[in-house]
Amino acid sequence: MVEKTLLIIKPDAVKRRLIGHVIARLEKAGFEILGMRMERLTPERALKFYAVHEGKSFLPALVEFMVSTPVVPILLQKENAVADLRTLIGATDPARAACGTLRQEIALNIQENSVHASDSPENAAIEIAFFFNG
């Protein structure tokens, strides 16, 4: 089934000028880019985006990290997009990410892990609406 999903290029990748590299990896893997923008998140918007992690010890540091530079949300479409994007980026912790995945290649650590991807079709719809107004 053709699906839409959301990827965010995070501040550690923006700072290291890896935006183009990430986009090239996405296109090479067969994802169609339907939308893309740059946004400097406010702490309030970062907290809203990561509301599912409310109460987690890493949330304050995560919010501080996510507002440290603009981020690049990208709306993607492909057959089986949600699962295929999760496979492409690899595990949250780059130390555990499979060989050849984007995070294994460029992420710095479990927080500064270069990209975010929606983890289900339901969350993809919510996250796409968050950045692209539905």
Q: Is 58 in the site for ligand CMP (CB under 6 A)?
A: yes
Q: 91-130: which residues touch ligand CMP (CB under 6 A)?
A: 92, 110-111, 113, 116
**Spatial separation of the C-alpha atoms in residues 59 and 45, rounded to whole Å:** 13
Other C-beta atoms closer than 10 Å to the C-beta of 56 total 10
Q: Is 21 a residue of the active site?
A: no
Min dist. Cβ of residue 110 to ligand CMP (A): 5
**Spatial separation of the C-alpha atoms in residues 3 and 84, rounded to whole Å:** 10
Q: 8-47: which residues touch ligand CMP (CB under 6 A)?
A: none
Q: Which of 5, 97, 116, 131 is catalytic?
A: 116
Min dist. Cβ of residue 51 to ligand CMP (A): 11
Residue 94, phi then psi, degrees to nearest 5: -60, -25
State the first-to-last Cα distance of the chain, in angstroms, to the nearest integer.
Answer: 20
Interface residues with ligand CMP (CB under 6 A) are: 58, 62, 92, 110-111, 113, 116
